[in-house]
Amino acid sequence: MTEVTTKVTFDSLPNEILLKIFTYLDSEDVCLIVAEVCERWNYISRDVTLWNNLNLICSNNMSIDYLEFVLPKMPLIKSVKLQWRTDVDLIFKLLCHSCEEIRQLELVCCGKMKDSCMQLLTDHFPNLEVFSLGKCWAIEPNCFNLICKFSQLRKLNVSHSRCLDGPLLKAIADACCFLQHINLDYVRGLSDDSVMYLLESKNGLLSLILYGECLTDVAYCYMENCKMLHTLHLSSCIQMTDKGLRSITKLNSLKSIKLRLAKNLSTEGISNFLQSRMASKLECLILSRLLSMNDVAAHIISKNCIRVRYLELVYCPNITYQIRECLVSGCKELKVLHFRQNGHTDILNAVN
């Protein structure tokens, strides 16, 4: 009896399988290569669900001429990221003309952002859900006022902004009712009052990144009301005391926490924090520039923080290198240990 072997080719695969395969390609491959292969592939390349998972990264080596060519070929693109661009006004015009479905727009280290650029975005993409101006420079002040027009925002990054103040933060909190993630890292001068207003209006907040140079325990204690927080990154916590840190341990949903430059914490306060039920659930723990952090407190991490996968201990002068082996052997799920002391950095891939 002769056995007949059926040869499997791309043509024999159902559309659903091809669609799944195409999700592993980038947006340029889909619109410039896949769409040109045949009628069937062209049809699949225009599937709305495919473009839900694709994004376009406009790096600084991508010319405007190229963008003029490629953007009209991806009208269904929903996610665009600009990196190190100073021609955002030209790119925004192209996006508004060719891509009407954008829901996620991120600018990273971009400059020359004018009020007119921002107005263009609010006019064409009022339903934007993710917006980032992280580490951007030369942004006209009124651009931050216009953020209030994005009423559907779920995620906002305005890190390193020099123009965002307390009243404007309150206005954004009022206008953007669905905010769940907000990055305010290196936004200086925010008061207890403005941060508490944000937390009160956003009790469903999932992640908060905050620069705390002006914050006191009043604000940190108020954070215990944010029961759904899974990420809390706090930098320059120079006025935080053990009282404020103790309140944070009540956030039992936390998966990732960062404490940087909290010079008023005691060794006992840090130890109690690391022994808490909350700390036992952490997957990411970043402790930076904590004068009272020592080997005794670090040893607690190896005993209680057994779920941590990413651990960073940097510039804590009272921790010695001898503790590293204890951390690696105790934290069974640890994948990365970032250990930096006195200008020397170790990044260990700790696979248990």
**pLDDT tens by residue, 196-254:** 999 999 879 999 999 999 999 999 999 999 999 999 999 999 999 999 999 999 999 99
Q: Which of the four pLDDT bands, split at 50, 70 and 90, describes residue 5?
A: low
Q: What six digits make up the tokens of 311?
A: 């651990």
State the Cα angle at 246 between 206 and 305, rounded to 5°. Answer: 70
Considering 109, 143, 171, which residue would you say is the last residue of a domain? 171
Q: Do both 148 and 261 map to the same domain?
A: no
Residue 2 has pLDDT above 80, yes or no: no
Per-residue model confidence (pLDDT) at position 203: 79
Residue 315 binned pLDDT confidence (cut-offs 50, 70, 90): very high
Is residue 39 pLDDT above 70, yes or no? yes
Number of structural domains in the chain: 3
Q: Determine phi and psi for 275, rounding to 5 degrees.
A: -90, -5
Is the predicted pLDDT of residue 337 greater than 60, yes or no?
yes
Q: Are residues 315 and 332 in the same domain?
A: yes
pLDDT of residue 341: 77
Cα 153 from Cα 128, distance rounded (Å): 6
Q: Is 310 helix (H, G, I), strand (E, B) or coil?
A: strand
pLDDT single digits (tens) 63-91: 999 999 999 999 999 999 999 999 999 99
For 131, 132, 172, 177, 260, the CA distances from 154, given in Å and listed in that order, are: 9, 11, 12, 8, 26
Q: Residue 3: pLDDT above 60?
A: no
Q: Over the stretch 52-65, which tens digit does the pLDDT of each residue have?
A: 989 999 999 999 99
Per-residue pLDDT band for 150 (boundaries 50, 70, 90) equals very high
Share of the chain above pLDDT 90, in %: 88
Residue 10 clears pLDDT 60, i.e. is over it: yes
* Residue 181 covered by a domain: no
| Mean pLDDT, all residues of the chain | 93
Judge if 198 and 313 occupy the same domain: yes
Quick: pLDDT tens for 254-297.
999 999 999 999 999 999 999 999 999 999 999 999 999 999 99
pLDDT of 179: 96
Residues 226, 295 share a domain = yes
Residues 247 and 343 in one domain: yes
Q: Are residues 30 and 73 in the same domain?
A: no
Whether 246 maps to a domain, the answer reads yes
pLDDT at 202: 86
Question: What stretches of the chain show up as alpha helix (H) in DSSP?
Answer: 15-22, 27-29, 35-37, 39-45, 48-51, 64-70, 88-98, 115-124, 142-146, 166-175, 192-201, 217-222, 242-248, 267-274, 277-280, 295-304, 323-330
Q: How far apart are CA 260 and CA 319, in angstroms?
A: 15
In the chain, how long is the greatest CA-to-CA distance?
84
pLDDT at position 9: 80
Given pLDDT bands bounded at 50, 70 and 90, which one contains residue 119?
A: very high
In which domain, by residue range, is 44 found?
A: 9-49
> Is the Cβ–Cβ distance between 90 and 66 less than 8 Å?
no
Q: Is the pLDDT of residue 344 over 60?
A: no
Residues 331 and 311 in one domain: yes
- Portion of the chain with pLDDT greater than 70, in percent: 95
Identify whether residues 38 and 64 lie together within a single domain. no
Domain match, 228 and 341 both:
yes
Binned at pLDDT 50, 70 and 90, residue 345 comes out as low
Q: For residue 155, is it within any domain?
A: yes
Q: What pLDDT, on the 0 to 100 scale, is given for residue 346?
A: 63
Structure confidence at residue 348 (pLDDT): 59
Check whether 1 has a pLDDT greater than 60. no
Res. 45: pLDDT tops 70: yes
Length of the chain, in residues: 352
Please give the single-letter amino acid code of residue 247: S
**pLDDT for position 230:** 97
pLDDT score, position 350: 55
For residues 293 and 318, the answer to whether their CB atoms sit within 8 Å is yes
CATH number of 117's domain: 3.80.10.10
- Residues 79, 36 share a domain: no
How far from chain centre, in Å, is Cα 8?
Answer: 41
What per-residue confidence (pLDDT) applies to 7? 72
- CA-to-CA distance for 147 and 139, rounded, in angstroms? 13
